[in-house]
Structure 1
Amino acid sequence: MSWRESLQQGLVIPAHPLCLTSERKLDEQRQRGLTRYYLDSGAGGVAVGVHTTQFEIRDCGLLQPVLELAALEAHGSDAILVAGVCGPTSQALREAALARDLGYQTGLLSLSAMREASVPELIDHVRAVAEVIPVFGFYLQPAVGGRVLPHEFWQRMCEIDNVCGIKVAPFHRYQTLEVVRALAESGRAHEIALYTGNDDNIVADLLTPFTFGGTTVRFSGGLLGQWAVGTKSAVQLLRRVHEGTNPSLLLALGAQLTDLNSALFDVRNHFHGCIAGIHEVLVRQGRMAGRWCLNPHEDLSPGQLHEIDRVLAAYPHLLE
């Protein structure tokens, strides 16, 4: 089976965090160990250099080393390697070429740096990157740096031949529907895999058949920061979705996942502590040495630790 076929069937793809030492230097041993944890848990791939990895890796020369470590650890496996690709077109083309040369199959293309660009300018940007590496479209929520992207953009992006997937993560039901409708109307749902990134609505996205104009499309899997923890549980959950387990039981788990996410992603404080929240769980599980971020001012918010204690006690079955 080709990697594109695997992507269409549906996979768990964790957004890979960054392991640092107390001096905020790359902890290579733990970084590779974290990749092994994901692959050993049954994840179908990893997304590296994305928001959960901290976009600041580009400012301190860590993008290439971090991409290389994941590629080395995944070598010889069937894991799909997804590289975050950011910045204006010149930067995005460099990052896409680097990822391609390191063996990454696709680039998750962030448009955060192009806040003022028109739809035609955005489409030209996507098309240019797609000439270097297959593009995984990305709707990043504005609260963590994304921008609102209209239905017209998604319509036109679906027309680009080398687009292989879309991660839908606006944390917004109306905006989610705009993307899904564009894919249904494009006639390319059999070519472009739809992945949820809506950590607040994971199970509902995965269970729902979306029908527009007689065409039904579904989310195949998830590419999620939430699944950077509890990856084995996530793999089991996705399997149960694909096997047709009672939707009511799955929706009950979905509500628990949303509650878990509210603490880890620091919803009460507008997502300020979302990366540190993921780190805190990984520290408790012995997979990271500390929850340090590259930005020393990025840490848990007041009250977030208490919330994390609460959800970890309530939902241990979601964190295997």
Structure 2
Amino acid sequence: MAQHTLRPALKEFLQEGTVIPAHPLALNESRRIDEQRQRLLSKYYIASGAGGMAVGVHSTQFEIRDPKVNLYETVLKWASEEVETANLSRPFLKIAGICGPTGQALNEAAIAVSYGYDMGLLSMGGLQGLSEEEILQRVKAVAKIIPVFGFYLQPSVGGRIFSYDFWRAFAEIDNVDAIKVASFNRYQTLDVMRAVCASSRRDEIAMYTGNDDNIVADLLTTYRFPVGEEVVEKSFAGGLLGHWAVWTTKAVELLNEIKQYRSGNGGDLNALLSKGIAITDVNAALFDPANAFHGCIPGIHEVLRRQGLLEGRWCLNPHEELSPGQMEEISRVYEMYPNLNDDDFVQSFLQQTK
């Protein structure tokens, strides 16, 4: 298969930074896919002003790849159709989650290209038996098919810690156009940023935060490193986040507010940092770090259920439910931070799509 590369206009858009929600999976009470609501979620993200969607990722549930479930191709197809039907006059990135050993990853990359996806979010999870060099070879193989969106996944949900040298080599791979840092760890985030800044491709790679616990601070920070005779600067351009699967219009507003501040066109830094703490508090309720993130997907589903976008919070795995006390925590943050939800927008959106 010939290498697919990112169109220049989309590459520029990616570099400028945008909001990319991680697309959930809509199920009915029988735990079978609900096509109407799956498509409705895609329509919501498009209408919200998001600049893309990541489909077939952790939030879409890895069980979609189970041969008995077999929904990976279905969710990619439906989301792609909704983007095409919307006939947008603005850029919009279709990103497919890609995971598994090299053979599986190459197969998923080919499927993504066949449905018109622009990039593959390449997970490094579940590959504990491979060396860093073997994982780099896997990345190179996938990058020969589809532009790669790298993904540093935290160990508590199946990822692993990689060395600075790994990321330094990763950044040199042709057709790696972005990296999502979701290490939930400042030290590991620093490793990736420093490695990219030291690389010859530093201007080719857009950095996206996946640190749902530190969204605002990540987006406000400029990293500076001496490299040779110069000082290299790099910032997170945008975010690809499970957190942004809910209250997405507010995420779009937030990124615009941060961009305005970073460009020197006004804004209150202290107010933004305080908002960042409120967003982290919300994330704690949704993602359930108190219980090792057990309820993170049901937490997202519960908000979408309250808004009327999902019928329930069912997951393919019947044991995947809210943790004890998580429902109360979601109610608490809803009440404490009414300015962070987009319930009014969603109600208007649902009325228009009836």
TM over 0.5: yes
CA distance in 1, matches of 2:268, 2:328: 33
Give 2:39's aligned residue. 32
CA–CA separation in structure 2 for the residues paired with 1:266 and 1:113: 21
Deviation at 1:117, TM superposition (A): 1.2
| Match status 1:306 vs 2:328 | yes
**1:317 matches 2:339:** yes
- Quick check: 1:249 aligned with 2:258? no
Which residue does the alignment assign to 2:24? 17
User: What SS is found at the alignment partner of 2:104?
Assistant: helix
1:9 deviation in Å? Answer: 0.3
Q: Give 1:246 deviation, angstroms.
A: 2.0
Partner residue in 2 for 1:72: 81
1:119–1:152: 8 Å Cα contact kept in structure 2? no
- Residue identity over aligned pairs, in percent, reads 57
What is the TM-score with the length of structure 2 in the denominator?
0.89
1:54-99 per-residue CA deviation (whole Å, 9 max, x = no partner) reads: 0110001000000001000011333100100000000000000000
Between the aligned partners of 1:38 and 1:316, the Cα distance in structure 2 is 20
The amino acid of 1:61's aligned partner reads N
What letter corresponds to residue 222 of structure 2 in structure 1?
P
Answer yes or no: is the 8 Å Cα contact 1:165–1:194 preserved in 2: yes
AA partner of residue 110 (structure 2): A
- Is residue 10–residue 220 contact of structure 1 (8 Å, CA) maintained in 2? yes
Q: TM-score, normalised by structure 1?
A: 0.99
Cα distance in 2 for residues equivalent to 1:13 and 1:248: 25
- Secondary structure of the residue that 2:177 maps to in structure 1? strand
SS at match of 2:97: strand
Aligned to 1:301, what secondary structure does the other structure show? coil
Q: Is the 8 A contact 2:171 2:202 kept in 1?
A: no
Please, which of 107, 119, 139 is the counterpart of residue 126 of structure 1? 139
Deviation at 1:316, TM superposition (A): 2.0
Distance 1:189 1:15 in 2: 25
* Matched residue SS, 1:71: helix
> 2:152 is matched with which residue: 136, 139, 142?
139
Alignment of 1:262-281 (within 5 A): 262-281=284-303
8 Å CA contact 2:57, 2:96 repeated in 1: yes
For residues 79 and 299 of structure 1, the distance between their equivalents in structure 2, rounded to whole angstroms, comes to: 32
Deviation at 1:208, TM superposition (A): 0.3
Aligned match of 2:177: 164
- What residue number does 2:62 align with? 55
Partner Cα separation in structure 1 for residue 83 and residue 164 of structure 2: 36
SS of residue in 1 equivalent to 2:126: helix
Task: Tell me how far apart the structure 1 counterparts of residues 126 and 286 of structure 2 sit (CA, whole Å).
Answer: 26
Q: Separation in 2 of the partners of 1:162 and 1:249?
A: 38
1:224 maps to a residue whose letter is L
Could you tell me which amino acid in structure 2 is paired with residue 109 of structure 1? Answer: L
The residue type equivalent to 1:208 in the other structure is: T
Q: Report what 2:254 is aligned to.
A: 237
Q: Residue 264 of structure 1 contacts residue 274 of structure 1 at CA under 8 Å; is this kept in 2?
A: yes
CA distance in 2, matches of 1:209, 1:39: 29
Cα distance in 1 between the residues matched to 2:170 and 2:306: 41
Aligned partner of 2:282 in structure 1 is: 260
Partner of 2:52: 45
What SS does the aligned partner of 2:32 have? coil
Q: How far apart are the structure 2 equivalents of 1:115 and 1:96?
A: 21
CA distance in 2, matches of 1:96, 1:74: 19
Please state if 1:224 is matched with 2:256.
no
Structure 1 gap ranges (5+): none
Which of 148, 166, 175 aligns to 2:188? It is 175
Question: d(CA) in 2 for partners of 1:140 and 1:183?
Answer: 17
Take 1:188 and 1:209, find their aligned partners in 2: how far apart are those partners? 18
Q: Cα RMSD between the aligned structures?
A: 0.8
AA matched with 2:198: E
Residue 2 of structure 1 aligns with which residue? 9
**Does the 8 Å contact 2:18/2:51 carry over to 1?**
yes
Counterpart-to-counterpart distance in 2, 1:120 and 1:86: 17
Shift in Å, 1:172? 0.4
Tell me the CA shift for residue 152 of structure 1. 1.1
Once the two structures are TM-superposed, the CA of residue 118 in structure 1 deviates from its matched residue by: 1.1
Note the C-alpha offset of 1:187.
3.6
Question: Which residue is 1:200 aligned to?
Answer: 213
Q: Provide the rounded CA distance (Å) in 2 between the counterparts of 1:150 and 1:24.
A: 40
Please state how far the C-alpha of 1:149 moved relative to its aligned partner.
1.3
SS of residue in 2 equivalent to 1:112:
coil
- The 2-side partners of 1:102 and 1:36 are apart by 17
| Structure 2: runs of 5+ lacking an equivalent | 1-7, 262-266, 343-354
Q: How far has the Cα of 1:267 moved from its partner?
A: 1.2
CA contact (8 A) 1:45 1:82 kept: yes
**CA contact under 8 A between 1:8 and 1:190: conserved in structure 2?**
no
One-letter identity of the residue aligned with 1:20: L
In the TM superposition, structure 1's runs of 4+ consecutive aligned residues that sit over 4 Å from their partners are none
SS of match in other structure, 2:233: strand
